[in-house]
Amino acid sequence: MKIVVTGGAGFIGSNFVYYELKNSDDEIICYDKLTYAGNLETLKDAENNPKYKFIRGSISNRERVYRLFEEEKPDVIVNFAAESHVDRSIEDPELFLRTNIIGTSVLLDACKKYGIQRFHQVSTDEVYGDLPLDRPDLFFTEKTNLHTSSPYSASKASADLIVQAYQRTYKIPATISRCSNNYGPYHFPEKLIPLMIINALNGKKLPVYGTGENVRDWLYVEDHCSAIDLIIRKGKVGEVYNVGGHNEKTNLEVVKTILKILGKGEDLIEFVTDRKGHDQRYAIDPTKIETELGWTPKTKFADGIKKTVDWYLQNKDWWEKIISGEYQDYYAKMYGNR
């Protein structure tokens, strides 16, 4: 098959590109606008692979997307392309609406016009809102009502609804996956785990929102990639699949674990003003994908976080180039007065 991976130069997208190149004989096309979070250096190890090709473009650019379909005639679209950072969505909601909603609709229009074997939308558990900290028995299932908290999650929920509408109205062979928080190689430095690793390595304070008691279910990125691969090949059209890691941790636990691995003191932790509308707890029930498709996460958090820290230690050139530029201005804006 020929698989187009939109947003393939980002964190999860790039890991998916590498996963497919390693585990399939399919031709992989990375289609990416190369915004602040898209980094071609992330994919330099794929450049000489005859099964790989990069095309620059935005999913919101209808003319460019249609040309992509006309020239490449893809069999599968896996849509990772999205603005994904909650804090950025609070600062500039319109950008998220334009990319995450309009961009998804443009891709679906192209699928309707040119045909496709499978369109897969990579979504997030954040579309479900949050769960209370004092109810560890509650989990998100595919039947949980959508209840968004931020412009980011609202834009992703909107995109999911558009995908479902196109599937029903135009019979687009679409599937959706909603994942918990990913971590692993190539994670952009503004996100919690890489930010804490890099700050600790540089002897800088580690900014933790509120009291750090917010809970997330952590999913190692390679496990997520294996789930998506299974869904696009064996998943039932029109279905939503929750993908979780069975690794619930408070943000403070995560930060302390990183400090322990690096041999750094907890005095580096600095509690800062909480995020607006900060969700309390995310917890996914992945029973459906486990029972229907036979997928289970293979990576325990204790193992995955060690592998992730090791990767950042071994790939300083990658993240040092990122934090030396525009990202520093953003970092100062988001955390400077907290």
Among residues 20, 27, 125, 229, the one annotated as catalytic is 125
Q: Is 160 a catalytic residue?
A: no
For residue 284, give every residue at least 6 positions away whose Cβ sits within 8 Å of its Cβ, in sequence order, or none.
125, 139, 140, 178, 179, 180, 217, 242, 243, 244, 245
Those residues whose C-beta lies under 8 Å from the C-beta of residue 40, and which sit 6 or more positions away, are 9, 34, 54
Q: Whole-angstrom Cα distance, residue 277 to residue 292?
A: 35
Calpha distance 334→322 (Å, rounded)? 17
Is residue 181 a contact partner of residue 251, using CB atoms and an 8 Å limit? no
Q: Which of 83, 126, 223, 229 is catalytic?
A: 126
Lookup: tokens for 179: 């994942």
Which of 152, 166, 186, 241 is catalytic? The answer is 152
Characterize the bridge pairing of strands 248-250 and 215-220.
Answer: antiparallel
152 is known as an active-site residue: yes
- Show which residues are catalytic: 125-126, 152
